[in-house]
Structure 1
Amino acid sequence: MKHSRVTARAHTNIALIKYWGKRDTTLFLPMNSSLSLTLDEFYTDTTVSFIDGDQDVFFLNGVEQPLEECVKISKFIELFRTQSSIKSAVLVESHNHVPTAAGLASSASAFAALGTALNELFVLRMDKQTLSTFVRQGSGSATRSIYGGFVEWQMGIETDGSDSYAIKVDDADWNIAMLTIPVNTRKKEISSREGMKLTVETSPFYPAWVEQAGQDIKAIKQAINNQDFIALGELTEANGMKMHGTMLGANPPFSYWEPLTVKVLQRIREIRGQGIPCYYTMDAGPNVKVICQADKADEIKKLLDQSFPDNTTIISGVGKDAYLLSVE
């Protein structure tokens, strides 16, 4: 049955074992597998509907986007259009529910929500695993936002990307939470894509990173299976710092850290030294995320807010699978 209007929601995710480097920049195929935690606090709602005319139209947070952005979205929509007998243009209305102060990239939830909605609008009936290979081509990390809980994005080996998809590892329903401490939410001088490319091409540390990431993902999946929070946290923290270490080996060297970043990391180590288990990680930016036990989240937030009153910490629980909000 053809639908006229579909709305979907997807949550953002934070990688615990990082994705850093592509083996194919067109299909967004990663150099290593990664594993993430989906967060309930940050999400995107996207509505898609068929419209008359030859051109797709894209609104973000109520503002019509310029041609450059619309071209990117149209290219993504075309992935779904080519799988369907329906060739109509599409209106995309996307709303990011990601606090501005969080400094969290919303591309993962954005493309996961858009893909989930388009899958229904074009009546394709893809299962989640297949859908994850489609949303990957909008944003690599969107692959993981198709699912809730702990999610693995398997790197795959095929050149067409058919085996590079996401699978749910665990529901993460065992006292897990994550804190976000916004350090700087301005636009980065070096984008993630640029930083990734420079690291892969010039850092002598990079091959060791790829090898170690493969070992880390096996170890963290065992920790999840055992519900061993300490092992989970230690692996998360070590993997994130190794990723940032590869950047210092690039030519020219670069870093996303800022002075406040270092102070936040030190404070988290101090809190851990007081007997409260908590472990930090960072993506390609200065903002710090902390994985902790959910029943300790309020206590850790209070301590961090006292130390950094101008950088309010945000608590997130575990997000769920991408899903449909309405179908007309």
Structure 2
Amino acid sequence: MRTNCFFYRKKKYSIDPNGVITRKSPSNIALIKYWGKHNKKIQIPLNSSISYSLEGVYTVTRLIYHLKERKKRNPSIKIFFSGKEKTSFLPKIFEFFHRISFYCSYLLDFNFIIETYNTFPHSSGIASSASSMSALALCIMEIEKKLVSSLKEDFFLKKASFLARLGSGSACRSIYPGLVVWGHHKSIKGSNNFYAIPYPYKVHPIFTKMVDTILIIDEKPKKILSSKGHQLMNIHPYAKERFKCANKNMNHLISILKVGDLQEFGELIEHEALTLHAMIMTSRPYFLWMKPNTLNVLYSVWNFRIQSKKNIYFTLDAGANVHLLYPIEEKKSILKWIYSDLISFCTKIIESFCY
């Protein structure tokens, strides 16, 4: 389906036959979760979502391009991850290039080498596809910028988000810093299903300085990838109610972000995280991404919060690992507790910020 044709770039151009582009892009953590899409090929969400982009948790991608000697329909692509060739990544990359070729027809005239690495484990539930596909989309837009010197920054970012979405839905949110919205929601001006936008409304200062400490419970790639989970929402018995709940929670979050209510914020993001996993556990076939130590961390957070009165809350993406969100003012005491009481439940701790 050829949606948003104003992103189409005609084939007539003049560009250096060889080039190298490097871009980095962050992972993100969704507060209101996107789970389920209309059609896997065009990546249209069944509910709106909002996320924080994360400092220090990112993918770096180096895109090397060479003009083809002979015209062929498809480009030649090699991909290296952390210095090793990864042929297993090629099907997804070829599918991505196929999807975006209508909007970036110039890609068909080049061959590519993609060199990429993460600062965190891939395919383990920390949105590695979001950071990797958004980094690649930014590289591609840098090529387009060489073609069109008058390209405006706003268009550059919108189209990068649009392209990233066609590789991984949540990748469209990683194009921007801060709080980012993807998916049409009647209460958020400018929100749409084709690309993400920076959150357009007032945000209380407390939510502009949030810490995200990530506990790596399991570094191994997930046995069941998120793409499979999204597909199962099309036949899920509770899907319609989930989409209604997500939209209602988005309205609630708009109010929370404005007034700065940390307790309401925490309760809402924990509810969203557990709802996501409830959908996973009640799919057909059903499955479970949480590990025993995931649950140990969640119960520990609940108990510590009651005893200490600290504003620490958890959220999870589609995996076993846990994100702990809390205000920067409480970082010292909370981080001390994390390293003393939670270290035994995880293999690694990643300190990050929501920026």
Fold shared, TM-score > 0.5 on shorter chain: yes
Which fold has the larger relative contact order, with Cα–Cα distance below 8 Å and residues 6 or more apart in sequence? 1
Q: Name the counterpart of 1:258.
A: 291
Aligned match of 2:131 in 105, 109, 126?
109
Q: Name the counterpart of 2:174.
A: 145
* Structure 2: distance between partners of 1:101 and 1:263: 22
Please tell me whether residue 32 in structure 1 is matched to residue 47 in structure 2. Answer: yes
The offset of 1:164, in angstroms, is 2.4
Aligned match of 1:23 in 38, 56, 73?
38
Distance 1:74 1:188, change over 3 A: closer
Aligned match of 1:302 in 328, 333, 336?
336
Dislocated runs of 4+, deviation >6 Å: 170-173
Q: Equivalences for 1:1-328 in 2 at 5 Å?
A: 2=15, 4-53=19-68, 55-66=76-87, 68-78=88-98, 79=100, 83-85=104-106, 87-98=109-120, 104-123=126-145, 125=151, 126-155=155-184, 163-169=193-199, 174-202=208-236, 204-273=237-306, 274-310=308-344, 311=346, 312-319=348-355
The offset of 1:62, in angstroms, is 1.5
Residue deviations 1:265-286 (CA, integer Å, cap 9, x gap): 0111112112101111111111
SS in 1 for 2:180: strand
Aligned residues of 1:233 and 1:279 also touching (Cα < 8 A): yes
Aligned residues of 2:49 and 2:183 also touching (Cα < 8 A): yes
SS in 2 for 1:127: helix
The offset of 1:82, in angstroms, is 5.0
SS in 2 for 1:22: coil
Distance 1:304 1:254, change over 3 A: same
The TM-score normalised by the length of structure 2 is 0.80
Aligned residues of 1:179 and 1:314 also touching (Cα < 8 A): yes
Q: CA RMSD in A?
A: 2.7
The offset of 1:155, in angstroms, is 4.2
The offset of 1:81, in angstroms, is 7.4
Aligned residues of 1:57 and 1:70 also touching (Cα < 8 A): yes
Distance 1:102 1:189, change over 3 A: closer
How many pairs are equivalent? 314
For structure 2, the 5+ residue unaligned runs are 1-13, 69-74, 187-191
SS in 1 for 2:343: coil
* Structure 2: distance between partners of 1:177 and 1:247: 27
Residue deviations 1:267-312 (CA, integer Å, cap 9, x gap): 1111211210111111111111111111223322221222233324
Aligned residues of 1:177 and 1:297 also touching (Cα < 8 A): yes
Counterpart residue type for residue 287 of structure 1: N
Distance 1:62 1:248, change over 3 A: closer
Q: Which moved more, 1:262-271 or 1:187-196?
A: 187-196
Aligned residues of 2:125 and 2:317 also touching (Cα < 8 A): no
Q: Name the counterpart of 1:324.
A: none
* Structure 2: distance between partners of 1:263 and 1:286: 11
Distance 1:14 1:291, change over 3 A: same
Distance 1:61 1:145, change over 3 A: same
Residue deviations 1:77-100 (CA, integer Å, cap 9, x gap): 352575344622222221222257
* Structure 2: distance between partners of 1:23 and 1:212: 18
Counterpart residue type for residue 186 of structure 1: K
